[in-house]
Structure 1
Amino acid sequence: MDVHLEVPEEFARHLASDSKGLARVALEALAAEGVRSGKLSAFQARSLLGIQSRYEMDGFLKAHGVLLDLTLEDVQKDSDAALASSR
């Protein structure tokens, strides 16, 4: 799915100055908010962003102020999803 956003030039200049580019900044914000709100699992956000390791994802979430309140069941679901997608 493609999403197009109208961003006023004054804001776009500031956001686009990030070395990752405006599209990546927007995608990262979407992924972080998805995890924060519970609409995405950390594993789903990791796949969306192309992040290779769980440790890197943990760092990404921490950098974006997303704290996970994981239960053993949550960890098992993430583990099962990762195993299923690697087959």
Structure 2
Amino acid sequence: MQITVEIPDEIAERLEQTRGSLSRRLLEIIIADAYHCGKVNTAEVRQILNLPSRLETHAFLKRMGVYLNYDEAELEQYLQTLEEFRGQ
């Protein structure tokens, strides 16, 4: 889906200068909010933003001030991984 946002040129130019690509920044804000609201999960955040790893995804969410949402399945997976590391 493609969405068009109308912003006056002089304001758009200032916004581009301060943080780089305005379209990328808007996408990041929308996706961080969607994650915060439970509309997307970390795998979807990673896919949409084309992030290289889960750690990069977590770092992105941290930069955006969004706490990680763990559902039961994710928590169980993390606990299992932790147990495997402890066993080594």
- How far apart are 1:52 and its partner, in Å? 1.3
Higher RCO, 1 vs 2 (CA within 8 Å, ≥6 residues apart): 1
What TM-score comes out, normalization by structure 1 length?
A: 0.75
Q: Could you report, residue by residue, the CA deviation over 1:60-85 in whole angstroms, capped at 9, with x for unpaired residues?
A: 000000001314423568xxxxxxxx
- The CA distance in 1 between the partners of 2:53 and 2:42, in whole Å, is 11
Structure 2 residue 17 is the aligned partner of structure 1 residue 11: no
Partner residue of 2:49?
A: 49
When Rg is computed on C-alpha atoms for both structures, the one with the higher figure is 2
Q: Could you report, residue by residue, the CA deviation over 1:31-83 in whole angstroms, capped at 9, with x for unpaired residues?
A: 11110111111110110000010000000000000001314423568xxxxxx
Percent identity of paired positions between Structure 1 and Structure 2: 32
Partner residue of 1:58?
A: 58
- The CA distance in 2 between the partners of 1:4 and 1:32, in whole Å, is 19
- After the TM superposition, which residues 1-87 of structure 1 pair with which residues of structure 2 at under 5 Å, given as runs? 1-17=1-17, 18-19=19-20, 21-75=21-75
- The CA distance in 1 between the partners of 2:8 and 2:24, in whole Å, is 17
**Alpha carbon RMSD of aligned pairs, Å?**
1.9
Question: Which runs of structure 1 show a deviation greater than 2 angstroms over 4 or more consecutive aligned residues?
Answer: 8-11, 74-77
